[in-house]
Amino acid sequence: MDNNQIWQIIALEDDHYLSEQKLNLELKSALLTEFLQHLHIEFQHYGLEIQQFHV
């Protein structure tokens, strides 16, 4: 195995690792977005309760 083949293997492993990291970040981003949307709904509900309390 020459140096060129070794570097090709390293590049393929790096690409695979980066692809996994990208998928991991996309999943975390989707989960965070879903959580923030849920939190936004909860705050809207809480805001309505406060408005009703002050009336």
pLDDT per residue as tens digits for the range 6-24: 999 999 999 999 999 999 9
User: What sign does the dihedral 35-41-44-48 (CA atoms) show?
Assistant: negative
Q: Which pLDDT value is given to residue 50?
A: 82
pTM: 0.66
For residue 27, how far is the Cα from the chain centroid? Answer: 4
48 against 12, higher pLDDT = 12
Cα separation values, 27 from 4, 19, 41, Å = 35, 12, 21
Q: Determine the Cα–Cα distance for residues 2 and 17; give it in Å rounded to an integer.
A: 23
For the chain, give every domain's residue range.
Answer: 1-55
Which single residue is written with the structure tokens 């690792």?
17
